[in-house]
Amino acid sequence: MDYKNLFEKFNEGGKLLLPDATVTFDAIPWSKHPASPGVELKHIITSERTDGEFSYHLVRIAPNKKIGNHIHENQLETHEVISGTGVCVNDGVELPYEAGIISIFPVGVPHEVIAGDDGLCLFAKFMPALC
């Protein structure tokens, strides 16, 4: 399977289907990560739409860039890797990232994500919502 193509299917042709709306991913702008250069996010669904219960984000990390070590004091976070490779350090344990991997970070667990030479694309979910 061509995983880079899979990312592009989400990025350019993906849709969030809700009972009362359809949100096309290509209509959502990329936002720069506030603390990590080379990291961009598409906020697919945010607290505004979920009453703060959860948020869902498409994340693109440029080759050899990272989301540095951090903790979410109030959110459980999950990652679903769509394309690329890299490493995730989850509570001090280094985990390989490649398409098909899912990782979970309970509240208060330190973690970071480092993209490989080909970059890294994933979905990140937060419960309750991050934004």
Whole-number Å distance between alpha carbons of 37 and 99: 23
Question: Quick check: is 19 in a domain?
Answer: no
How many CB atoms lie under 10 A from the CB of residue 69?
A: 11
Say how many residues make up the chain. 131
pLDDT digits (tens, 9 = 90+) for 21-41: 999 999 999 999 999 999 999
- pLDDT of 83 higher than 90: yes
Question: Quick check: is 23 in a domain?
Answer: no
CATH number at residue 57: 2.60.120.10
Domain count within the chain:
1
pLDDT digits (tens, 9 = 90+) for 49-80: 999 999 999 999 999 999 999 999 999 999 99
Question: Quick check: is 47 in a domain?
Answer: yes
Question: Quick check: is 90 in a domain?
Answer: yes
What is residue 5's predicted lDDT score, i.e. its pLDDT?
Answer: 82
Question: Quick check: is 111 in a domain?
Answer: yes
Question: Quick check: is 22 in a domain?
Answer: no
User: Average pLDDT in the 3-13 region?
Assistant: 85
Model's pTM, two decimal places? Answer: 0.94
Q: Domain range for residue 117?
A: 3-14+30-127
